[in-house]
Amino acid sequence: MSESTLRIGLVLPDVMGTYGDGGNALVLRQRARMRGIDAEIVQITLDDEVPDSLDVYTLGGAEDYAQRLATRHLTRYPGLQRAAAAGRPVLAICAAIQVLGHWYETSAGERVDGISLFDLTTSPQATRSIGELVTTPVMVGLSQPLSGFENHRGGTTLGSDATPLGTVRHGVGNGVGDGTEGVVQGSVIGTYMHGPALARNPELADLLLARALGTDSLAPLDLPQVDRLRTERLAAGRRG
């Protein structure tokens, strides 16, 4: 791997990879390579310290016990926190939102301290949210609808230092009744969308890539198959 290689951190796929969210790192690598940019995925497991020197980081979803393992590891090795403080882009999916918050409550009623990259808290809701999720982004730099598959029981309340990623058009989202989905704080973005999210939302993928590369824009990619996937999934959300 050369010094010019884009380094994509896949954080704790051994415990935070229940729903195939590792695919987000694959999408970032492929979209970089299709533009002639050398890119590699760096897997960071429970056997590794978390480096603060990568260009972009992704974290996926998990269940309660795996969340606790991830929280302990990220607390012990705070490279992700240092990277975020330095402005490196981070994408957190589903349970990773909760780990990156101030605290989350498990289904058994145990409150677990998070790592406070997000100004938010998460508590179990009465019913589980499962199904297609479609939102209108409110984050600067995004203009196209976002879609994904949500599967969570947590309800996430944002604090004053955090803003939503989008507003819900179909589905549940953050699950606290305010019509919001996801979270943005500094260089860190969180969403409850699986899919993987970046396969279904190329505009979001390219925003993360551009930030990782330190550029305002990227050459467009002509990928009809991605357009077809987006059309089909957005239609599924409307039908759902």
Q: If you count them, how many residues does the chain have?
A: 240
Alpha helices (H) in the chain, listed in sequence order: 23-33, 64-76, 79-85, 95-99, 197-200, 202-213, 224-239
| Catalytic-labelled residue, pool 94, 102, 152, 170 | 94
Active site residue 170: no
Phi, psi for 35 (deg, rounded to 5) = -100, 10
Distance CA 115, CA 221 (A): 36
Alpha helices (H) in 59-201, listed in sequence order: 64-76, 79-85, 95-99, 197-200
Contact 121, 102 (CB under 8 A): yes
Active site residue 194: yes
Residues 6+ apart with CB under 8 A from 118: 92, 97, 100, 101, 102, 158, 162, 183, 185, 188, 190
> Is 76 marked within a binding site?
no
Place of tokens 């599924």: 236
| Catalytic-labelled residue, pool 73, 152, 170, 194 | 194
Q: Label residue 177 left, alpha or beta by phi (over 0 means left) and psi (-120 to 50 means alpha).
A: left
Distance CA 94, CA 163 (A): 16
Distance CA 151, CA 187 (A): 25
Annotated binding site for substrate: 128
Residues annotated as catalytic (active site), given as ranges: 94, 194
Residues at the binding site are: 128
